[in-house]
Every structure is written in C-alpha cells, then in structure tokens.
Amino acid sequence: MTNEHPHTQTVPGVAAGYGDLLSECAEGPGVWIHVPARTIVVCVLLRDQPVRYDAHWVGGRVRPCPGATQCALCTSGVGKKTRYVYTVLDTTTKQTGLLEVAPSTALEIRAAVDEAGFARGLAIAFSHEGGVKNGRLRATSRHQILRDCELPDGPDPIHVLKRQWSLPDAERVPSYR
C-alpha cells in the first residue's frame, strides 16, 4: 500500500518526535544540503549507492517506517513515502553532506549513473522545476568527473539517519539498498 495522504494528517495518540532530534545529530543540521529556489547546485556523488528509506509524514514530522507488518502508522492507514539519501560534495561550498530526494529524482540520478557507468565522482546538477522551492527536484548529469583520489568520503547516511531518528546503533534503518 503506497496511498499518499497530506503531510498534515495526524494520528491520535501518536506523540511527535524525531524531527526535534535533528540538532542532536553528531554532524548537526548542516549535514543536509538544500537546493534553494532559482538556483542550480552542482554536487559530486561520493558513494556508489544511495540509502533508501520509507517514512510517514505526520504533523509535519518524519517517522521512519519499520515495515508495514510492524508499523502502527501503516496499520492506521497513514500513507508513506520513499526517500533516497545521497552522500555528496557540494562543488560551490566544497562541503560534503547529504542530499535527500524523491523517487523521481533518484531515477534521474540512476539514469545519469548508468550512462556514466559509475557513481562516485560523477557531477550532477540539481534545480527545482519552475524555479520554486516546492517544484520537483530535477537531476541532470554535468558529464564531469572528479578523480577518485581527490574525493573525500563524506558522511554516512545510515549513521546520520539513526542519530536523527534517535535509533540505537543496533537497530537498522527501516529499509535501504
């Protein structure tokens, strides 16, 4: 079931959480790279694969989904969305960070990676369609490559997500590949 509900839907008896923990993340809130409106942000991919997770947006907050069979929100019929998290180097700020995108953007990144034959070192330009912040994030290959030896490793998405969601180290991120 992937029926999507408005972000504002709330579930009685479910306390708010997760989002408040962002500032407690070891890497800090700055680890997330955002693409401003009317701006092209060129990022170099640093890992071969993104991390994928499913989550519910309830009351404006993100709740990771542990899987439909053991999730109270799924049982309550709250829709969920899939997100992909990439470890990247922002070529403008020269900072490493994480970029989170929707599946349609991830498909465009995948196409660029397939065309290039690899991911790490590939430069991708990101911009919002229509130049507005809530426009779909578009990813296009810059057909530029940075040599592997010149690249940092960047933050680990799973580590950051666990900290952000306050999961113990032993717990795995709900779903990823």
Q: How far is CA 56 from CA 5, 74, 144, 152, in A?
A: 9, 8, 36, 32
Shortest Å, Cβ 30 to Zn ion: 29
Alpha helices in the chain (DSSP H): 72-75, 103-116, 157-165
**CA torsion angle for 50, 56, 57, 62 (degrees, to 10)?**
-60
Q: Indicate whether 71 belongs to the interface with Zn ion (CB under 5 A).
A: yes
Query: Encoding tokens for residue 74?
Result: 């799924």
Q: Indicate whether 65 belongs to the interface with Zn ion (CB under 5 A).
A: yes
Query: Encoding tokens for residue 51?
Result: 């991390």
User: Considering only residues 33, 35, 43, 74, which one is a binding residue for Zn ion as defined by CB under 5 A?
Assistant: 74
Q: Indicate whether 173 belongs to the interface with Zn ion (CB under 5 A).
A: no
The span of 10-18, 21-29, 57-65, 144-152 binding Zn ion (CB under 5 A) equals 57-65
Shortest Å, Cβ 3 to Zn ion: 12
Cβ distance to Zn ion smaller for residue 75 or 104? 75
The site for Zn ion (CB under 5 A) is made up of 65, 71, 73-74
